[in-house]
Amino acid sequence: MRESKDLLSLAMAGMSDGFAMFDQSGTIVFTNDQYAALFPLWGDMRVPGKNIRDILRKAIETNERRNFPAEVTDEWLSNAAASLHYDKDEHIELFNGAWLSLRTRQASNGMALVAVSDITVLKQAEFSLRTVAEQMKPRRHRWPDRPGKQARLRRSPVGRNGGGRAPWPAYSAAADRCRSVQGLQ
């Protein structure tokens, strides 16, 4: 038994991801060193024997996580602690701009297993790609600020027929009418 435990501890220490096990009451029963290291302001709270409610209180006090609600109530704490016992995947942003992926899974004995990965580089790449995609979107054409111009073009043969399908003389006549109405001829 002791040998199996030592082997498991060695394997957990060699992981790059953080790992923690919580019992049914939300108390940590096992972590690897990486788990605490991923949370720079309140990693000292993420050790065996600490309860998720105490960890959350400390996280709120230090503002380590960016998306905590403005006002944290006991009800919010209870709901957050209870969510530990549901399978879920979430991304959280820390105060320093780092991003973590938390994967929570339930074991058959009621324990919660949490794996935490640093995904900061992936999030930065995602934001860069979104910026490039936004810059590559075609710009909408703005019509000049002349009252009725869009309506006149919709009434013209080109506008009615989907653009470019009307014979050239019809387009030319419609364009001439538009210019004469606007006093451009």
Kindly give the confidence (pLDDT) of every residue in the chain, 185 residues in length, as a single tens digit, with 9 standing for 90 and above: 677 666 666 666 667 799 999 999 999 999 988 999 999 888 888 999 999 999 998 888 888 888 887 788 889 888 988 999 899 999 999 999 999 999 999 999 999 999 999 999 999 999 999 988 888 877 665 655 555 555 555 555 554 445 544 444 444 555 555 555 454 44
CB 60 within 8 A of CB 68: yes
Radius of gyration of the chain (CA): 30
CATH 3.30.450.20 domain range(s) in the chain? 2-121
- CATH fold, domain 2-121, is Beta-Lactamase (3.30.450)
Q: How far is CA 153 from CA 49, 142, 179, in A?
A: 74, 14, 11
State both tokens at 112.
């919660």
State how far the alpha carbon of 116 is from the alpha carbons of 8, 29, 138, in Å.
18, 16, 39
Tokens 């105060």 correspond to what residue? Answer: 95
Of the candidates 50, 54, 35, the residue with the CA atom closest to the CA atom of residue 115: 35
- Where are the strands (E) in the chain, listed by range? 18-22, 28-31, 88-93, 99-106, 112-118
- What is the pTM (predicted TM-score) of this model? 0.65
